[in-house]
Structure 1
Amino acid sequence: MIRRLIVGTGAAVAAAGALHLALGGYVARRLIAPRAAKPFVPLIVDGDTVDVPATDESRQPGTYGVWLDDGTHLTVGEILRTSGDRVVRSLVAKPAGLPDGTVRGAWTSQNIAAPEAVGPTQHVAVPLRRGGSADAWVIGDPDATRWAIHVHGLRSSRSGALRSAPAAVDAGWTSLVVSYAGDDEAAPADTLPSSLGTREWRDVDDAITYAVEQGAREIVLVAWSMGATIAMLALEQSRHREAITGLVLVAPALDWGRIVARAVKGVHLPSSVGATSLRVLRSRWGARALGLIEAVDARALNWVDGARRAPDLPTLIVHSLRDPVVPVTGSLAFAARHPGARLVAFDATGHCNEANQDPKRFHAAIGDFLRELRRPV
């Protein structure tokens, strides 16, 4: 009887352990997996309004966008009214010739249709050390010596990072808005799981090289969410570290352990599942199972309270106190640890929606920082 009890208990423990490992693997896969294509759903355009399905995203205040299935972009303004499962919002920008009626579109936080809406634009290809090139936009004077390189976050594209370009261009900095390995612009065959910046930083370093070769002498990295991880890794290893004179970090991912813990807590799983997911990511067998080229030690990607320290550079952090994805506690602790960092706190809902919900303050914060920035003599 005792033997049966021990065997039964052992089986139960093994089953619980297997379930725990499976949950950790699931969290790890969700963390790094390429974003599934957003479904295009029926919308109704009526004059200067658009009727969209009511979701957590479409109910938020501010200015957003809709991508139609033919590639057309609509800039969507504030909520006018709600009715059941539909929301009617104003249209800030409606393409000429778009008729009223039902269309199919996907909601997005990308509220700038194209780089040409920001300023004179060149479409360029950045040569990559891994072979091939990455598409990028140069906005502003291509002969200027002060460049801002805008780096988007996880499961996003250059269009998302466009939101910081107007402030940089208005402050007199040429903007280079870049793409990198595995982002939403990659062809389906090239869409790999994210390495949380540990491989992607090389493409951004190649963009830094491109800017230097074009005549840039002062470079600011403007990094969104996971783009901050990429920026920090690039700064640690870049061939042109001396050219980087400042950082602008928007809702920055500076401590992945903290981010995973928030995600696990948000779906009411034990904190130990988050720790398991990090172990899966940094193991060779886990990397193979997840389709990663190499294991990722996410816990080591910590500039908040870990062994890594950020470079001694003027740094602006823009972050909402209510960010549900990247805890603002990380930014607060980072600013306390690094005297050269200044945090401008917002009250926006959602992740990386500061520019959507308080655009004037967002624009002013970045613009003022860049105008005041001067290379040390």
Structure 2
Amino acid sequence: MAKVHVLYTGGTIGCVPDAQGALAPVPGPEFERLVLSMPGLSGHRVADHPGLTWTMGWLDRTLDSSAMTPADWIVIARRILDVYDEHDGFVVLHGTDSMAYTASALSFLLPGLSKPVILGGSQVPLTVALSDALPNLVGALALAGTLPVPEVCVFFDTRLLRGNRARKIDANRFAGFGSPNFPPLATVGSFVDRNSALWLPMPGEDSSLSVPANRAGRREELDAQAAALDGFSVPMLWLHPGIRASTVSAMLSGTVPAAKGLVLLAFGEGNGPTDPAFLAALAGADRSGVVVMDNTQVQAGAVLPGAYATGLGAVGAVGAYDMTPEASYAKLVCLLAAGLDPVAVKGLMATPIAGELTVIDA
């Protein structure tokens, strides 16, 4: 027997038109009734998977994922911990716009996972006949109940992706998510093709969330991180030809609460302008304790520290290697919320802790 818990947060999958014709997610009880009316999901069971049952919970306020904040990441992590011992896997139904951010964050907020946490959703609501919602939902449920992958994942359009490697790559097609720098963990067709050699290892008893004491400690740490979030900001800056030093300075000095981190979306392998004033603005931020991450605007490939004379490592920026911008942002927020000093944060940002990056020599 396997039991999966579904946490419905909102998103397109649960949307219906409001009085003005705009889509809005329905409340949790209404969504559960809708899911129970779907083929293969009645009676809180999953057809063709004998013994697989599911329960459902929801946020008090369902959200379009574009309204998600880091505080919501912690709410979701807590809700998973609340029911962790009674279930074998978890599905988080989420809007697609910021799903990659939440999946990345959960991988850092829930170290010690011994059970799958699978984020899913759809490009078209469940109430629409021609929709990707039902196969995405059934697939996520089946995988969460049958695949012992001990990490946070995204399931979308037949592919199970590592959560902190996933990106939204298309706003319209059913194949809305990809993983440019890492292969799928599994692929669903007439059978499930497992790529289990890529899965993260099962945690030891000293860290596993299956141990009650470890879950209690994680809850305390989440409480502390939640309280810390109001004390800092982490902006993201897309570099472009002609960007001015004043733009960097204005972003860092004008953000409230004060910025403790900055994610740069740089050119190519992490390159940026060589204008001395621009570099001085970044160097000044680094000296003041702001952790600057050097990411790339390019979908695939990696930031290679020191590969070019125009690299940003000389002003203290940390190369992201092949980490996605979403994972880089979420990881930076989570580490800063944990109260670590800039030196410690820099070291961990360049170190894989949940399978989010591959260290590559220049």
TM-score (norm 1): 0.23
1 or 2, which has the higher strand percentage? 1
TM-score (norm 2): 0.24
